[in-house]
Amino acid sequence: MSQIINTVNPYNGETLDSYKQFSNEMVENYLSRAHQTFQNWRSTDIKERTDLFKQLAENLLKNKESYSTLMTQEMGKPISQSRAEIEKCALLTDFYVTNADEFLADELIETDASESFISYDPLGCILGIMPWNYPFWQVLRFAIPTIAAGNTVLLKHASNVTGCALAIQNLFEESGFPKGCFQTLLASHDQIETIIADNRLQAVSLTGSEKAGKHIAALAGKNLKKTVLELGGNNACIVLADADLDTYLDTMVNARMQNTGQSCIAAKRFIVEAPIYDEFLEKLIKKVSNIKIGDPLKDDTELSVLARKDLADTLKKQVDQSVKNGATIKIGNTIKDAFFEPTIITDVNPGMPVFDEETFGPVAAIIKVNNADEAYKMTANSKYGLGSMVFTKDTETAKHQINQIPDGAFFINELVKSDPRLPFGGTKASGYGRELSIEGIHEFVNKKTVYINL
């Protein structure tokens, strides 16, 4: 008997919809269709592909309000941020419409051959396992370059955003893509494991937790399937003594509180140099205290509920254990159902959950350091390696620290963010592989050497 998947509005607890999990036969049909569609799609002219993506971008913007509302209802994101997510997806699509042909063109290499070059050939059917925190963006930043390269995609989305997952499949089909180019699976973990073992599946891209990444990497490795893993992070935000708080404090607050703090690249650890510490803390508390909290469907809401109650419960345990270990709550740390009050916690040191772990919610951990050297060393003291940011007027000196931070990204006077033009990904427990830019479209292609003598 098929399991029922219920989607629930985290703001009011109301059930939004119910869906039947696919039978094994349905899963097989979807995989078979993806494999068969690939046989023709792989040979489709790149201009034909990009023309379809132009239509997809138009449909994204045409349906922006309905997609944004669905996103907000399913996972609680403030509606203004849901709209911004759809707009960013349209920009992503436009980027690959403009650049896919160049990115996939044969690369001529001079050798002893009459002609030699690298051909970028699609691999086949690729599985995407995606999280709920950016229900459209996470999926499309994987799917668009992957499909543009000539592959087909199967999506296993987080169950609490099943409506979004099905809406994305409809988006592709209504934009004119062949049936089977992009399909959403309402599948169990066992069914996903069966797909990964199937010879028709060529690779897996996962965005999610470190635990999920290890599990999928092990399964894929057992079956010799390539993986791209974008996992968790506990990004540092370094605030040096010369930082311009008047200019950049809003950016710092946004780095922690956007998407109600549910972002892998959020600033989770604020490492603050002693001379500016008191001023920074006072201004941060004032800013965070004035964040507009409320119904996520209201235009002026800046922060609302977490996506599920269990996420709030986990965050509470991390904060409370840190307090037991000696940390101090300055504001916040109250919880009601899926709501977690914006929280600032000080006297944080390594060994505390809010320092060592990923805190997926509106909690800012503040660490005081004596000087810049100590700040950079503290930043690197993490098992994660997704991204770091530093705020300082001395950007030239900051640039010399780039090689000291073994992360996938290093931002100076800006929050860590993804941009279609730049590669995105991490190191260490934050995963491997890259999304976006030319690197993203090359992750799921066969870089084939061609050598011709006349």
Task: Establish whether 230 is a catalytic residue.
Answer: yes
| Tokens found for residue 375 | 């700040």
Residue bearing tokens 């292609």: 445
| Tokens found for residue 182 | 């992009």
Q: How far apart are the first and last CA of the chain?
A: 62
Q: How far apart are CA 242 and CA 245, in angstroms?
A: 9
Dmax (CA) for the chain in angstroms is 75
Neighbours of 373 (CB within 10 A): 11
Q: How far apart are CA 284 and CA 50, in angstroms?
A: 45
Q: Determine whether 94 is exposed, middle or buried from the number of CB atoms within 10 Å of its CB (0-12, 13-18, 19+).
A: middle
Q: How far apart are CA 338 and CA 424, in angstroms?
A: 30
In 137-166, which positions are buried (b, 16+ CB within 10 angstroms) versus exposed (e)?
bbbbbbbbbbbbbbbbbbbbbbbbbbbbbb
Distance from the Cα of residue 277 to its chain's centroid: 31
Would you say the C-alpha torsion 363, 215, 417, 158 has a positive or negative sign?
A: negative
Q: Helices then strands (H, E): number in the chain? A: 15, 22
Cα 173 to Cα 20, 87, 235, 287, distances in angstroms: 21, 20, 37, 44
Give me the phi and psi of 207, to 5 degrees please. -115, 120
Whether 254 and 265 have beta carbons less than 8 Å apart is answered as no
Q: How far apart are CA 78 and CA 306, in angstroms?
A: 11
Would you say the C-alpha torsion 198, 202, 206, 210 has a positive or negative sign?
A: positive
Q: How far apart are CA 55 and CA 75, in angstroms?
A: 27
Residues linked to residue 227 through DSSP beta bridges, in sequence order: 204
Of 211, 215, 204, residue with least CA distance to 231 = 211
Instruction: Please pick, among 74, 210, 230, 273, the residue that the annotation labels catalytic.
Output: 230
Q: Which residues are catalytic?
A: 230
